[in-house]
A and B are shown apart, each in its own frame.
Chain A
Amino acid sequence: NAGVMQNPRHLVRRRGQEARLRCSPMKGHSHVYWYRQLPEEGLKFMVYLQKENIIDESGMPKERFSAEFPKEGPSILRIQQVVRGDSAAYFCASSRPRGTQYFGPGTRLLVL
């Protein structure tokens, strides 16, 4: 039973480019959460999604960031026009309804 999968594991972008981070939840999990961990800091919640719905995006920056979890396929966290401050580890977690969250290995984004 595969765990939460994230790809790519490492992503390098130049300032102004777009970054797309993908997350495949565990089998049977319909809820996905995205968190960001800046260097030497703790994890901060970004967004909570169910299939085709954004439930809570209170932690998402107002501009350049968006997330989706389509009916088919992985959840996508999209960062447009990346800046150096976006360099961080981005973690995805998944759960069943009201269930324990299980995390993926993360995507480490480096913006040059």
Chain B
Amino acid sequence: AQSVTQPDIHITVSEGASLELRCNYSYGATPYLFWYVQSPGQGLQLLLKYFSGDTLVQGIKGFEAEFKRSQSSFNLRKPSVHWSDAAEYFCAVGAPGGGGNKLTFGTGTQLKVEL
């Protein structure tokens, strides 16, 4: 069974500082990997995804993530955080292939940005 671990429940960074949110997954092969962001009371917005190919993935809002097979990780990074980035971030894993493959989500990381 697939699983996702986000070790950091809360992270606080200063505006303008760099950010890295950790994500580790467990899956028998190379999974499909996703990062989503959720603002309070809202649905989820896709930041980026990895299916195959280049292990450094660029997403929206200046975010990027790097897939590291040896570490079973897919950490999210941003070089300079903006106050509007404060939100909940979820890493998710899905099984490759067609059909209605479901996503498994991590427990989320709450990001606070200090001005």
**Do the two chains belong together in a single complex?**
no
